Structure 1
Amino acid sequence: MNAKPTSTDASQPADDARKPRSDGEQSRLRLLAAAMRLFGEQGFSKTSTREIAQAANANVAAISYYFGDKAGLYQACFSSICAPAESNIAQFSPPHFTLREALQGYYAQLMAPLLAGQDAEVLIKLFYREMLEPTGLWQNEIDINIKPEHAALVQVLCRHLGLAQPDDDVHRLAYAIVGLGIQILIGRDVVNQITPHMLASPEAIAQWSGYLVDFAEALVNAQKLKLQQRKA
């Protein structure tokens, strides 16, 4: 994303040039919101900058000003909704955390998109589209965020299982723990059709996160028992 110029920059769109910086930021946020919705519904290639600008009630030139081009706007959509891996990892990886505290921190960051309310559907659709019609950002997300977060979760599991190094079973356990939460994220439409009250409020989502912690803790304890039986 291009650095934001000052309000006196000559490259600023004419319709924004006389607006306070706060109005300019509102225009930028409207473009992001419109782009996320349209990219999620139609995909990158089928969405035009003119369409985005119309939906955001902004000048097409504002896209160039704030984001450089359509690709820059697409990148900005992901940057605005993806927390850095370090931030997510810090919520569950401290060595002094109990297993339960680590799992609570893990699901807190994993389930965070659901707390976006109506915007949650927009955010999740955007990820769907990138996975189905990859532009390279999904691979980048795997490399920059998902791999480090998986490695951190595996380290946490090794610590609580008393293992010096992870094996395939620990990786399987990590994938299963992640899958408990991912199922809710990608199956949000199904849940809303069958039991809509279970995602209807932050309190409902928090309650579900608590159950995920219970389930995941049981999985870890089951693996710990399996390891003990192997040593017996």
Structure 2
Amino acid sequence: MVETSTRLTSSRKSRGDRGDQTRERLLKASIDVFGRFGFDGSTTRMLADTAGVNLQAIPYHFGGKEGLYIASAEYIGEAISSHVSHARDEVRGRLAELEASGQRLTREEARSHLALIAQTMIALFVSKQSEPWARFLIREQMEPTEAFSRVYGGVMKPMLELVAKLIGAMLKEDPLSAHVRLRTLSFVGSILIYRMAHAAALAHLGWNNVGPTEVRTLQDVAKELVDSIRPQEQAT
């Protein structure tokens, strides 16, 4: 009986592992296919063939193409969140600590935290890994669906709010003000351009690709960008 139970448990685990692998392959393949052809232009056959799985795996794991599309967006959000989690959690922890003690973030500390976030984001957005994510998200920016709501609510909005708190501390302004929100969007946009306009950036810089040396150069520029954020009276 013990041997039979062990075999059954092992068999279930094996099937579960295979199921997880199939799900992962579908998600990775679908992000690329949806990004290239859009939701309407991507057939379930195309998605399954690209992933190298049985056509029935899509309804089995995701309920259908729409479910797979939403899951693909969530997968992107989770991947981005995982990459920036160390920097994000460090800043959040410090802000919570200061709030608990009734203190405020100094300009210099806010500057240091923002530089860390910017340099972390740069490293992600110039990586090859983020290329299919960008294609998917650019389509969602142009014609937002429920998938955009998942990514925005899960990772974009929290990160923008965190950056706004840091910029607000640096400018000594309310992070919810229109001015700080605009400065936040401009700041994040200046980093996203290296992915969203990747070809133009490489052409303008005369680079063939982005390796470790180029990443460090971009991170240095990101720090300069952070240092340039100052209250109006200091900027002049």
Question: Corresponding residue for 1:29?
Answer: 24
Cα offsets for 1:136-160 (capped at 9, x unmatched): 2223433443333222222222223
Q: Cα deviation per residue 1:154-195 (whole Å; 9 max; x = unaligned)? A: 222222333456533322322221121022121112123343
Whether 2:110 is the aligned partner of 1:99: answer yes
Identify the structure with the greater helix proportion. 2
Q: 2:161 aligns with which of 151, 155, 160?
A: 151
2-structure distance, mates of 1:123, 1:41: 10
Q: 2:47 matched to which residue of 1? A: 52
Unaligned segments of structure 2, at least 5 residues: 1-7, 96-104
- Of residues 210, 219, 230, the one that matches 1:221 is 230
**8 Å Cα contact 2:126/2:195 also seen in 1:** no
Gaps of 5+ in 1: 1-7, 9-16
Q: How many residues are aligned here?
A: 210
Q: Structure 2-normalised TM-score?
A: 0.74
Per-residue Cα deviation, 1:185-232 (whole angstroms, up to 9, x for no partner): 2111212334363752244223302211212221x1253615xx8xxx
How many percent identity over aligned positions?
21
CA distance in structure 2 between the partners assigned to 1:28 and 1:165 by the alignment: 40
For residues 58-110 of structure 1, give each alpha carbon's deviation from its aligned partner in whole angstroms, at most 9, with x where no partner exists.
Answer: 10111122222111211221222214599474354433671332122321443
Matches within 5 A, 1:59-208: 59-83=54-78, 84=81, 87=85, 89-93=88-92, 94-95=94-95, 98-114=109-125, 116-117=127-128, 119-163=129-173, 166-195=176-205, 197=207, 199-208=209-218
Contact 1:91–1:105 (Cα < 8 Å) also in 2: no
SS in structure 2 of the partner of residue 76 of structure 1 = helix
SS in 2 for 1:81: helix
CA offsets 1:100-124 (integer angstroms, 9 cap, x no match):
321223214433543542x322111
Q: Is 2:172–2:231's contact at 8 Å kept on the other side of the alignment?
A: no
CA distance in 1, matches of 2:118, 2:222: 8
C-alpha deviation, 1:38, in angstroms: 0.8
Length-normalised TM-score, structure 1:
0.75
Q: Secondary structure at the match of 2:35?
A: helix
Supply the AA of the counterpart residue of 1:90: D
Q: Secondary structure at the match of 1:134?
A: coil
Cα pair distance change 1:196/1:221, threshold 3 Å: same
Q: CA RMSD in A?
A: 3.1
Work out whether residues 171 and 231 of structure 2, in 8 Å CA contact, stay in contact via their aligned partners in 1.
no
